[in-house]
Amino acid sequence: MASAMFTAPCGVRSAEGADCQNYVGLRPNTGLKFNASVTVKTAMNARRLFAVRASEKRDESIKKLGMTDAECEAAVVAGNAPDAPPVPPKPASPAGTPVVSSLPLSRRPRRNRRTPAMRASFQETNLSPGNFVYPLFIHEGEEDTPIGAMPGCYRLGWRHGLIEEVGKARDVGVNSVVLFPKVPDALKTPTGDEAYNDNGLVPRAIRLLKDKYPDLVIYTDVALDPYSSDGHDGIVREDGVILNDETVHQLCKQAVSQARAGADVVSPSDMMDGRVGAIRAALDAEGFQHVSIMSYTAKYASSFYGPFREALDSNPRFGDKKTYQMNPANYREALVELRADEAEGADILLVKPGLPYLDVIRLLRDNSPLPIAAYQVSGEYSMIKAGGVLKMIDEERVMMESLMCLRRAGADIILTYFALQAARCLCGEKR
C-alpha cells in the first residue's frame, strides 16, 4: 500500500539540477530565480507586437497589454505572434569525447530518469510518517535514561518523558507507537505473572497515553521475556525446555490486560505455536473483538537484537532462543508460519529483523493479502548510527534508503527507532 509522497528532501537542494538523493521526493527550490521582461513595440513600426526574453531573475511579471482574446488571436493569424525565448544550445561535450553514431535503441530507460521531477513522477515506492510505528522503551523512573548501545534512544519515564516523546512524534505525523517495558527485577518471576497485572507499567502507560492522545494507535508487545526471571519469552522447565501451551495461557491473560487498558493492537512476539488463535479467542471472549493482532510471523533467532536486550535488561539467563525463534537459514518455513497465523486470525504479519530479511518480507507480501510489517531492529539502527558517527556513511541518507528498501520489499508499516528522525526529515525539519 503506497502512501502519499512527501516532498521534503532532508535538506538536499534539488533545484540545482541534482537528485535530492533521499529517494523520497522533491522540494521546490526557492534559491533559483527567473525573470521575464517584456519589450513592447508599436504595431505600426514593427511586425511583432511584443517579445518575451528569459533572464536570470523572475521578480517582475510579464505586463499585460489589455488585448482581448480575439485581438491576440488576430495578431497571431497576422504573423505577429509574440517572441519566446530561443531554443537553448546543445550542451558541449568535454574535449576528447569520441564522435559515434547513436546506438539503435528503441528503449532507453534513462529517459525517465532525466530530471528530479520526472524521477518523482515515476517513483514506484513512497515513504511517509504514516508508515512508521515508533518503538518506545519505558521504565518506572521519572528521568529519561540514555541507552548506551542505541544513541538517541532512552528509557523514558512513563509519566513525563513518554508523553513528551509521543507529542514530538505526532507533530511530524507519526501517530503509532509500540511500548516495551523495563520491569524491575523484583517483579520478575519464572512464570512472568507481572505481564498481566492490570496496574502494571504497560497498562498504566496505555491509559495515560489514551487520556492525553485519544486517537493515538498503541501497539503492545505480548511476550514474557521482560517479566521473566529467566529472560526467555516463555516459561522454562527445569531441564531448559520452553513450555509452549502453558506459556500461551499466560500470553492470553497478558493480551486481555493490555486490551482492557486501551491497546489498539496486541503483538505476540514470543513465537509459541498456536498463540495467535488462543489470543484471538481470549480477546473475543472478553468483548475485545475490535482489538487487532499483529503477529511476529517470521521472527528469526538473530544476532541483531543485542542493543534491544540491553535496553530492557532482558537477556536470557541461560541458553538461547533457537527452539522457538526461526533459523536465519530458513526461507520456506516462513510460509508455514504465515499460513498458521492467517488461519488463526492475525490481522498483520511481521518480519523481524528487517533489512537482512528483505526476501522474507517479499515472500509474505506475495503470499498474503494481509498488511505486512517489518521491524528494523536495534542492531540495524545502531550500525547506521555508529557508521554516521565515524563518518563512514551519510547517516541520514542511509537511514532513508534503508526505510525505502523495506517499503519496496513489501512492508506496509515499519517499526523503527528512526521514526521521529525520519519523519522530521520527510517533513523538512532541521535536525
Residues 6+ apart with CB under 8 A from 412: 1, 131, 371, 372, 373
- Is there a catalytic annotation at residue 352? yes
Query: What does the block give as the cell for 140?
Result: 518506572
Q: Is 80 exposed, middle or buried (CB count within 10 Å of its CB: 0-12, 13-18, 19+)?
A: middle
Q: Would you give the DSSP letter of residue 134?
A: E
Paired residues of 156 in beta bridges: 138
Question: What are the contacts of 384-387 at 24+ separation with CB within 8 A?
Answer: 384/418, 385/150, 385/151, 385/152, 386/151
Helices assigned H by DSSP within 154-219: 161-171, 201-212
Helices assigned H by DSSP within 326-418: 333-344, 358-367, 378-389, 395-409
- Is there a catalytic annotation at residue 322? no
Among the listed residues 299, 321, 385, 391, the single catalytic one is: 299
Residue burial 199-209, b: 16+ Cβ < 10 Å; e: rest? ebbbbbbbebb
Among the listed residues 182, 188, 321, 352, the single catalytic one is: 352
Question: What whole-number distance in Å separates Cα of residue 28 and Cα of residue 46?
Answer: 39
Q: What is the DSSP track for 230-257?
A: T-SSSEEPTTSPEEHHHHHHHHHHHHHH
Task: For the chain, give the number of residues.
Answer: 431
- Residues with catalytic function: 299, 352
